Amino acid sequence: MNKSTLFSTIVLSVFISSCGGNSTKTTETQATDQTEASSPDTYDPKRGQGKFTAESIALTDKLDDTKAKAGESVAAVKCTSCHKTTDEKLVGPGWKGVTTRRAPEWIMNFITNPDPMIDKDPEVQALLELCLVRMPNQNLADEEARNILEYMRKNDGLK
């Protein structure tokens, strides 16, 4: 990253955090939506922050195609305006390979509880510098989030 890009990234980041009262909104969301208290020191970058754990999801290595199909239709309304299923970036990063890059509990926490994770997760913050749009909270129900995860796994080739 050369100096001028670094500079503009910083300027833009400051701009993002100062515009539209995003920071107060984040606080509000944290206060109402956060299911567990977690300070930046205790943030677990593998699991993310939210209600899901590896145990609670209890994945098997076989695809549940019913879930995946349901996930695909939810994604069509709430996700694919911004995410392609290839590795190409649209507004946000493409989904190809996401299930190998991130733990399933991280994915489910992020898509149901994005605001605190955007503020804390170092990798998400790096992505924000690229994408410049905070991933919106699309108010996914738990089941919808689980179905989207299955759709992502299918997209990554799980049978």
Partner 1 sequence: MKNKSIMVALAAIAITTALQSCKPKDSSNAVSGDAASKVYVAPGKYDEIYNFVSGGFSGQMSCYGIPSGRLLRVIPVFSVDPEKGWGYSEETKPMLNTSHGFIPWDDLHHVQLSKTNGEADGRWVFGNANNTPRVARIDLRTFRTAEIIELPNSGGNHSSPFITENTEYVVAGTRFSIPPDDVNGDVPIDSYKQNFKGTLSFISVGKEDGKMDIAFQIQCPGVNFDLSRAGKGVSHGWFFFSCYNTEQANTLLEVNASQKDKDFVMAVNWKKAEEYLKAGKGRKQAVRYAHNVYNEKTHSATSEIRTEVTVLDSKVLKDICYFIPCPKSPHGCDVNPSGEYIVASGKLASVIPVFSFDKIIKAIAAKSFDGEFEGIPVIKYESALYGEVKKPGLGPLHTEFDDKGNAYTSMFVSSEVVKWNVKDLKVVDRAPTFYSIGHLCVVGGDTKKPYGKYLIAYNKITKDRYLPTGPELSQSAQLFDISGDKMKLLLDFPTIGEPHYAQAILADVIKKNSLKMFKIEENNNPYVTKGEKEAKVVREGNKVHVYMTAIRSHLTPDNIEGIKMGDEVYFHVTNLEQDWDVPHGFAIKGASNAELLIMPGETCTLKWTPDRVGISPMYCTDFCSALHQEMTGYIRVSPAGSSVPISFGTGKTPAAPVK
Task: Name the DSSP letter for residue 89.
Answer: B
The two three-digit tokens of residue 122, written as one number: 């170092």
Task: Name the DSSP letter for residue 134.
Answer: P
Q: Which is nearer to partner 1, 59 or 82 (CB)?
A: 82
Residue type, position 37, single letter: A
Q: Which is nearer to partner 1, 54 or 143 (CB)?
A: 143
Q: Which neighbouring-strand residues pair with 89?
A: 83
- Minimum distance between the CB of residue 107 and partner 1, rounded to whole angstroms? 17
Integer distance in angstroms from the first to the last C-alpha of the chain?
39
Q: Which is nearer to partner 1, 18 or 42 (CB)?
A: 18
- Minimum distance between the CB of residue 152 and partner 1, rounded to whole angstroms? 10
Question: Where does this chain bind partner 1 (CB under 8 A)?
Answer: 12, 15-16, 19-20, 24-25, 72, 76-78, 80-82, 84-86, 88, 90-91, 132-134, 136-139, 151, 154-155
Q: Which neighbouring-strand residues pair with 83?
A: 89
Alpha-carbon span 38 to 43, nearest angstrom: 6
147: exposed, middle or buried (Cβ count in 10 Å: 0-12, 13-18, 19+): buried
Query: In the chain, how many H helices and how many E strands?
Result: 9, 0
Q: Which is nearer to partner 1, 12 or 54 (CB)?
A: 12
Q: Which is nearer to partner 1, 18 or 35 (CB)?
A: 18
- Minimum distance between the CB of residue 92 and partner 1, rounded to whole angstroms? 10
- Minimum distance between the CB of residue 139 and partner 1, rounded to whole angstroms? 4
- Minimum distance between the CB of residue 83 and partner 1, rounded to whole angstroms? 9
